[in-house]
Amino acid sequence: MSVHSLAKAPIQDPVHQAKVHLAAALRMAVLHELEEGIDNHFTVAVPGQPDRYLILPFGLHWSEARASDMIVFNEAGETIEGKGIVEISAKCIHAPIHRVAGVNVVLHTHQTWALALNMLADNRLLPTSQTSAFFGGQIAYDDGYNGLADTLQEGERLARLLGDKQVVFMKNHGVLVVGDNVAQAYRRLYRLERVCRTQLLAMGAGQPLAVLPPEIVERVQRPNPDDTHPRGERDRLYFEAMMRVLDRELPGYAD
């Protein structure tokens, strides 16, 4: 089966599918300039084993991520399956968030435009566009940078801050996005970078921003029962389209 067909057809083994999608997301982040080489981390809870997590071993560049590279680790930072080690902040940030918040996917980056917004004294993402309206009420703000994350208590603190939201803005640090599956989480991360960029560009014009009223934000977020492409379907279609882009530009993620 070709990589191209993997992007079209579902993979029967859910663990293998999680590995393929995780490798694909890491490579997408390179294409979209959301990565820092070997740093930052994407994790996925192993299907059927919520206390085990998939990650790319530290030291591999995101552009070379393959499904077969993925290791399984636990909250103690021990490699349970595969070869390689878990970077300390990945263990300390991600494992507690998976456990406490009960989420399947955790993506953490220092991506340029989101970090630039988080370097401002007022780092709030405003609902000033249709896309940014989707993030209204979905962002938790961590307004005090505490240094490098090197204890599990830091991850637990972030998990409590996250609550039932989708995103954490980490002042002077970066962003963290969660989701039910890789496609949903990665599309949120990608769209988040786009709206941070457009807000900063608009702020550069030196004119007041036109903020959407709460009732419009609520209307944008409200699912439309007549939509032939509901939100989850859009996430899937986007991710499959991006896997086809990878097939052309950065193939090999499914190996």
Q: DSSP letters along the chain, please?
A: --HHHHHHSPPSSHHHHHHHHHHHHHHHHHHTT--BTTBSEEEEEETTEEEEEEEPPTTS-GGG--GGG-EEE-TT--EEESSS---HHHHHHHHHHHHHH--SEEEEE--HHHHHHHTSSS-PPP--SHHHHTTTT-EEEE-S--SS--SHHHHHHHHHHHTT-SEEEETTTEEEEEESSHHHHHHHHHHHHHHHHHHHHHHTTTS---PPPHHHHHHHHS--TT-SS-HHHHHHHHHHHHHHHHHHHS--TT-
pLDDT for 10 equals 60
Mind listing the pLDDT tens digit for each residue in 20-61? Answer: 999 999 999 999 999 999 999 999 999 999 899 999 999 999
Kindly state the average pLDDT of the residues 64-91: 96
For the cut 80, the answer to whether the pLDDT of residue 227 exceeds it is no
In angstroms, the Cα distances linking 220 to 130, 162, 166, 217 are: 7, 22, 16, 5
| Structural domains of the chain, ranges and CATH numbers in brackets | 3-249 (3.40.225.10)
Percentage of the residues of the chain whose pLDDT score is greater than 90? 88
Q: Does 84 or 1 have the greater pLDDT score?
A: 84
- Cα distance between the two ends of the chain: 11
Mean pLDDT, to the nearest integer, of 4-16? 67
| pLDDT score of 223 more than 90 | no
pLDDT per position as a tens digit, 120-168? 999 999 999 999 999 999 999 999 898 888 999 999 999 999 999 999 9
- pLDDT at residue number 110: 98
Q: What is the pLDDT of residue 224?
A: 79
Structure-model confidence comparison of residues 222 and 115, the more confident one = 115
pLDDT at 228: 67
Is the model's pLDDT at 6 over the cut of 60? no
Is residue 5 over pLDDT 70?
no
68 has a pLDDT exceeding 70 = yes
Give the per-residue pLDDT at 2: 42
